[in-house]
Chain A
Amino acid sequence: AQSVAQPEDQVNVAEGNPLTVKCTYSVSGNPYLFWYVQYPNRGLQFLLKYITGDNLVKGSYGFEAEFNKSQTSFHLKKPSALVSDSALYFCAVRVPNTGGFKTIFGAGTRLFVKA
C-alpha cells in the first residue's frame, strides 16, 4: 500500500540552528513527493516537490529536501531555523488514481523553534 511516515510527532530546535523534519515513503513506481506547511488556523501551503532530477530540491522560505531513493526518504531541512518556521509540516506523496493523481499525507510533524 502507498504510505508516508513521519516518525516524529514534534521537533524542537533553537532559532539559528539547522532543522530536519523526517519523512519516509512507500510507493510502487516512481515517487512524487511533496512538503506542505500549515500555520495555525490556516490552510496547506506548498513548500517544495520532487518529481525527477536533482535529489536536492529547494523550496519556499529557505527550505530544502533531499530525496534518497535507497533509504526511501525525503527529509525536509533548513540551515538556520526561524521562530516563524514554527508550524505543522506534512510530507505527502502523489499517487495515480483514475484520471489523475491523489495525495496521501503523512501524519504531520509539529516544529517548535525557540528564540
Chain B
Amino acid sequence: EPEVTQTPSHQVTQMGQEVILRCVPISNHLYFYWYRQILGQKVEFLVSFYNNEISEKSEIFDDQFSVERPDGSNFTLKIRSTKLEDSAMYFCASTYQTGGVDEQFFGPGTRLTVL
C-alpha cells in the first residue's frame, strides 16, 4: 500500500539554525500539506500546496517558513531561523482529490527539537 514518508524521523537543532524537513508524498497525489503538533496539543494546519504554489497558509506559517517541491517527488518544509517554540512534530500529508472529498494520507512525522 502506498504511503507518505518523511525524513528525518527526529531532528535536533540549535536555536537560530535553519532546518529542512523532507516528505515524499504518494506518487499520484496532487495536493500536499504540512501540519504541526506541539507536544500534547492538537494538530494544526500550516500550509497547503497545489500546482506548484501555496494555496493556503495559516497564521502560524509566517516568513520564517517556506515550502518547495524541488522535483517530482519531494515536498519540503524549511524553517529559516528556528525558535524554541518551533519544537513540535511536523506531519506531511497528501491527497489525490478526485473532485470529492478524499482522505488525507499522513506521514509518520518528523519530531523537531530546538535547543
- Chain A residues proximal to chain B, CB less than 8 Å: 32, 34, 36, 42-46, 49, 51, 90, 94, 97-108
Contacts and interface: CB of A to CB of B under 8 A. Distances in A.
Contacts of B103: 34, 46, 49
Contacts of B101: 32, 49, 51, 94, 101
Contact of A107 (B41, B97, B108, B109): B41
Interface residues of B, number: 26
B107 A100 contact: no
Contacts of A102: 33, 45, 48, 56
A42 B31 contact: no
Contacts of B44: 105
B91 A103 contact: no
Interface in B62-115: 91, 93, 95, 97, 100-101, 103-109
Given A99-B51, A107-B41, A43 B106 contact: yes
B42 A100 contact: no
A44 B56 CA distance: 22
Nearest to A49: B103
A46 B95 CA distance: 13
Given A42-B108, A43-B109, A51-B101, A101 B43 contact: no
Contact of A43 (B31, B48, B100, B108): B108
A44 B106 contact: yes
A100 B106 contact: no
B91 to A, nearest CB: 6
Contacts of A104: 45
